[in-house]
Each structure stands twice: as C-alpha cells, then as structure tokens.
C-alpha cells in the first residue's frame, strides 16, 4: 500500500528530525577535547545525553513522518516555520551541556563540575553562540587563567577542571552559527527543499547552479580561513587550543574568548614570559591584533565574494558595492574614533596618537564586523563619540551572506545610492533616462524597485523592533549607581548589541543579577529575543508565527463558512 505523501506539518517535523540528528552530532564535537585533556572526562555525559536524545528523536521523527513517502513542496511560509524550529532546537541542544553540569550524578558525583548556570542563562549563552553575538553569562571561574607555561594550557585553569571542553563548545557553536545551520547541512545533504531554507536563512547567492556544491565551496572557504587563522594566531604567540578557539570566534564575528579579558589579555595584559611557541612581547600582541582584525574583516565579507578573490577576479571583488561601502566605513570609522580617543579618552585625559590609532582601528573593525572583541581595557574609557560611531557601524553591520549581523552593507548601500539618484535626477525631465546600476557579485546590473523596497522595509522593521526592545529593557529597574539618562543609553546600546550580534556590552550582568534577581530573568530573555530576531532577520519569525496562528484561524473560518447550510 502506497503511503500518503509527506506535506504540511508532517513534512516540517520530518525534516526537523533530519536536522535534529545532525545537531546531535554537532554537540558531540567538543568531546574531541578529551583526547588532549583526558582529565576532563567526567563531563562527557553532559554532552552525550542531549546528543543521544537529538539523534534518537531525530531519526524517529524522520522514519515515522517522511521516510519512504513522496515529499511534497513546502507551502507558503512553511519553510520559515522549519527554519525557526531548527534554530530553536539547535539552541536548546547547545544550552543543555551548560545546564546539565548541575546534575551531579551525570558528572560522577563531582559537584565542582557545576557551572552554576540556570536554564535561562544556559539558553542565553547558546543563543549568543549560535547567533555569533558574543554576549556572555559564562562564569568567570571557567575561563583560562595564568601565563600559559604549558603549550596546551593544561595548568592554566582557575579553580575549574573542565574549562577546555566548555570553552571549545562555545567556540564551536559560533563556528556552526556563523556559516549557518542550513548551509552546513546543505553541504552534506542536498535536496530540493533546501533551496527555500537556504535563502530563508539569509544566503541570498549561489556560486554554482547546484546548491549542494555551492554550500560545499562556501564551507570549505570558511574552514580554510579558520585553519589559516589558527596557524597565524599560534605563530603570533597563542597556544594551539586558544588559537583555534579565537580563530573560530573572530571569523564567525562572534566574540567568545577563552579569557575573561578577551583579546585584551593577549594584546596588552599578558605578562612577559615564555608562552606557546615564542617569547611574548609587545610585537606579539600587535601581531595577534592584526591577525584577529583580518579574520573579523574576512568574516564580515560575503563568503561568495571570497571565491572571487581566490579565483583572481579582483576587479569583481574590489568593485563590488559591498566592498567599496565597507572600505569607506572603515576609513571613516578609524579616522573618527582615533581622533576622539586622542582627546577624549578616559574623560578627557587623552592618549598618544599611536595608542589611539591602535584602539580606534580595533574598535572600528570590531564594531563594523559586529564581532565584539576588544583590545582596550574598558569601553567606557573610549568616550561618547566612539559610542555613537560604534552604534552606527554595528547597525549597518557586515555583508549579505557573511557571518556578521546588522542591517547589512548591501541594503544600506543601495538605500544610499537610491538617495543619491533621487537628488541627482530630482529636477530632470521625464524623458531623461536615469540609470540605476550597481556592481554586485561580478555583474553590473540594473537595481530593481523590489530590491530597494526590500531594503527600505527591512530597515524600517528593524528600527521598530529595536525601539520596542530597548523600551522593554527601560521598563526594568535600573542599577542604583546608574542615572536615568545613562540607563536609557545602556538599554538602547545593549539591545542593539544583541540585535546586531555585536557583543561589546555596556551592562554589568553580574551586578544586575545581585541587585534585581527577578528582573534579571526578564532582562536576559529580552536580550535572548534580540539575538534570535537579529540573526534570523525578523521576517522568517513573523512568517512562522503567521503560519502557526493566522493561517489556521483563516482556514477554520473558511471551513466554517463552507459547512454552513445554504439559505437557498
């Protein structure tokens, strides 16, 4: 007997099973660290349990719902439903290893294995990881510490014996989230349904007509950058483990670090002495900064454009509207921030030009790529001009199809060009032909009204969401030592941090938890929503809710009308 075709929610949850099985395998990857740090074996069940659940439930869903059935096409908005569920499932899977450390029997009775993270905090951390934001609630005890006298950093943990597994887990979530869950699976399993998911996740371009091959090429380029970045950071002075973690974090424009101080630890705070493969010096710190900047910039450029550079198509690469716009942003941002820091650093104390340039360039690149790394001691010392410049840069964000967040350079670029064309041709005759062309991905093309409309609508929608989100944070009680004006600034900046997947936080989460433990839960869930909405670019979430709520109501009304007896 032929089985009923798989369609609708049967198809959605059947494909969800396939993704769950894949996500279960992803959660197992941090256990590879046990090969290098076997003393951390007691936490392996914290990863194995959620992974086994994902794989078991995933295979069961796929077998029961779609295996052996003809797979129909998605109906309108169903691809968005699946995309949203996939991301929620991935975040849940990534959150449980943090949360399960509190269950002592899973850690063979070792109470010291607990990270002390609640479910809300664990979900926040996993969301920040997969959305490549970098905001963190990771406990300070679990970061690496010391001067790394051992090449692998085995003796560099501060009172927590399982740091490497969880630090790699955080970095690997950013690696996966940066390239995209759908793209990564598409590079392994290609079918006709992946097209709609691929574009719904924000990958608007293909390298070759075959989607699976395009995904493989993009993933290989992405992985190649991670390998090259790891090697570069290691040669600059980082130990191998930390070089790999920071390479993944920088390329994913994520912001998670192995150190509580982040890049600043290696940049300027690291004590002199023998570390990794060379004697640490000021030059080593500058080298680490330069390599991390290169990785952040690479992550903010569309992964499709990388293939143009690799194939020697430099005219198409450097002539692309995003590359031109990005270059202009960096020049303007570095100039403004360096000038500001020179005179306004630390409430007018100022700094010498070279140090100001060092801080200004790094802050500009970190903000423009929405990475969240810092080579300076405190964001509060940079001054209001840098705050404002950073807000502009992170609002614009990186390129379409890159690992960065924000509105995206292409959208802002075409809106800028549209405004320029408006001014230039405003008083022209109706017979005047006004060419509206842009160079995009190697093609000089006429800009369509639909592209301008999409950019304008998404920009307006983003401003509405960020305004409402920031207002929601402002309703929460403020910290006693923060004025009302400062609270407004911090709430707006913090929500934008989450929404644009930046991560240069201005909020004292530890202090807020101590002062307002109940409001703290609301604060981190609002920020979690900001990260989730920003990564999926709002519309897939709206479409998914529409399919779950509005469409069933409309269908019920339509069926009700059909069921009514005719008056005739």
Residue for token digits 């705050």? 387
In the three-class reduction of DSSP (H, G, I as helix; E, B as strand; rest coil), residue 216 is classed as helix
Interval 157-180: pLDDT, tens:
556 889 999 999 999 999 999 888
Q: What is the pLDDT of residue 146?
A: 63
Nearest residue to 238 (alpha-carbon basis) of 284, 297, 169, 170:
284
Using the Cα atoms of residue 517, residue 523, residue 524 and residue 529 in order, give the sign of their dihedral.
Answer: positive
pLDDT beyond 90 at 194: no
Cβ contacts of 291 within 8 Å, gap of 6 or more: 229, 232, 233, 236
Give me the helices (H) in 72-210, please: 78-99, 119-130, 163-179, 181-186, 194-200
pLDDT beyond 60 at 13: yes
Q: What is the pLDDT of residue 149?
A: 41
pLDDT beyond 50 at 551: yes
Question: What percent of the chain shows pLDDT beyond 70?
Answer: 87
**Separation of alpha carbons 234 and 259, rounded Å:** 16
**Separation of alpha carbons 520 and 479, rounded Å:** 11
Interval 288-339: pLDDT, tens:
999 999 999 999 998 888 888 888 888 889 999 999 999 999 999 999 999 9
Is pLDDT larger for residue 482 or for residue 436?
A: 482
Identify each DSSP E strand in 389-462 by its residue range. 437-440, 443-446
Nearest residue to 201 (alpha-carbon basis) of 222, 176, 223, 224:
176
Interval 62-114: pLDDT, tens:
898 887 777 777 777 888 888 899 999 999 999 999 999 999 999 998 889 99
Nearest residue to 367 (alpha-carbon basis) of 400, 321, 401, 326:
326
Residue for token digits 């023998």? 274
The reported pTM is 0.91
Is pLDDT larger for residue 132 or for residue 3?
A: 132
Q: What is the pLDDT of residue 45?
A: 96
**What is the rounded average pLDDT of the residues 37-49?**
94
Residue for token digits 């059935």? 69
Q: What is the pLDDT of residue 196?
A: 62
Residue 275 — pLDDT band, cuts 50, 70, 90?
A: very low
DSSP letters for 279-291: E--HHHHHHHHHH
**What is the rounded average pLDDT of the residues 541-568?**
74
Do 509 and 137 contact (CB within 8 A), yes or no? yes
**For the packed helices 163-179 and 240-251, what is the interaxial angle rounded to 10 degrees?**
30
């Amino acid at each position: 007997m032929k089985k009923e075709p798989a369609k609708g929610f049967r198809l959605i949850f059947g494909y969800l099973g396939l993704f769950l099985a894949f996500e279960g395998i992803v959660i197992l990857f941090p256990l590879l660290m046990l090969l290098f740090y076997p003393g951390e074996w007691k936490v392996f069940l914290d990863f194995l349990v959620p992974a086994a659940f994902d794989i078991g439930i995933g295979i069961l869903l796929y077998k029961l719902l779609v295996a052996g059935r003809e797979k129909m096409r998605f109906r309108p908005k169903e691809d968005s439903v699946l995309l949203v569920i996939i991301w929620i499932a991935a975040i849940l899977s990534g959150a449980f290893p943090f949360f399960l450390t509190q269950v002592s029997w899973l850690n063979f009775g070792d109470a010291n294995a607990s990270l002390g993270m609640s479910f809300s905090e664990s979900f926040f951390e996993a969301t920040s990881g997969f959305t490549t934001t970098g905001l963190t609630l990771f406990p300070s005890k679990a970061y690496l510490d010391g001067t790394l006298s051992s090449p692998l950093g085995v003796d560099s943990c501060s009172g927590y014996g399982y740091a490497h597994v969880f630090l790699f887990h955080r970095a690997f979530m950013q690696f996966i989230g940066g390239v995209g869950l759908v793209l990564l699976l598409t590079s392994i399993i290609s079918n006709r349904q992946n097209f709609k998911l691929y574009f719904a996740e924000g990958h608007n371009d293909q390298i070759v007509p075959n989607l699976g091959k395009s995904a493989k090429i993009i993933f290989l380029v992405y992985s190649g950058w991670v390998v090259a970045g790891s090697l570069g950071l290691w040669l600059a002075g980082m130990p191998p483990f930390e070089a790999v973690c920071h390479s993944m974090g920088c390329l994913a424009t994520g912001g998670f670090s192995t150190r509580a101080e982040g890049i600043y630890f290696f940049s300027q705070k690291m004590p002199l002495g023998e570390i990794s493969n060379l004697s640490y010096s000021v030059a080593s710190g500058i080298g680490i900064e330069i390599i991390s900047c290169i990785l952040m910039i690479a992550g903010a450029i569309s992964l499709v454009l990388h293939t143009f550079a690799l194939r020697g198509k430099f005219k198409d690469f450097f002539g692309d509207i995003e590359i031109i716009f990005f270059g202009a942003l960096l020049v303007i941002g570095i100039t403004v921030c360096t000038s500001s820091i020179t005179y306004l650093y630390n409430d007018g104390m100022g700094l010498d030009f070279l140090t100001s340039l060092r801080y200004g360039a790094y802050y500009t690149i970190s903000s423009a790529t929405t990475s969240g790394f810092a080579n300076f001691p405190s964001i509060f010392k940079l001054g209001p001009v840098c705050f404002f410049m950073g807000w502009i840069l992170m609002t614009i964000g990186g390129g379409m199809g890159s690992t960065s967040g924000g509105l995206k350079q292409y959208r802002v670029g075409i809106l800028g060009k549209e405004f320029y064309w408006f001014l230039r041709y405003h008083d022209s005759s109706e017979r005047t032909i006004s060419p509206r062309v842009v160079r995009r991905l190697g093609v000089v093309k006429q800009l369509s009204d639909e592209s301008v409309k999409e950019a304008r609508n998404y920009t307006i929608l983003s401003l509405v969401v960020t305004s409402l989100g920031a207002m929601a944070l402002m309703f929460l009680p403020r910290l006693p030592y923060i004025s009302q004006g400062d609270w407004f600034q911090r709430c707006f900046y913090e929500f934008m941090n989450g929404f644009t997947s930046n991560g240069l936080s201005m909020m004292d989460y530890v202090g807020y938890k101590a002062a307002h433990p109940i409001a703290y839960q609301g604060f981190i869930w609002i920020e979690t929503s900001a990260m989730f909405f920003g990564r999926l670019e709002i519309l897939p979430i709206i479409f998914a809710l529409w399919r779950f709520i509005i469409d069933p109501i409309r269908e019920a009304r339509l069926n009700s009308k059909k069921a009514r007896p005719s008056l005739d």
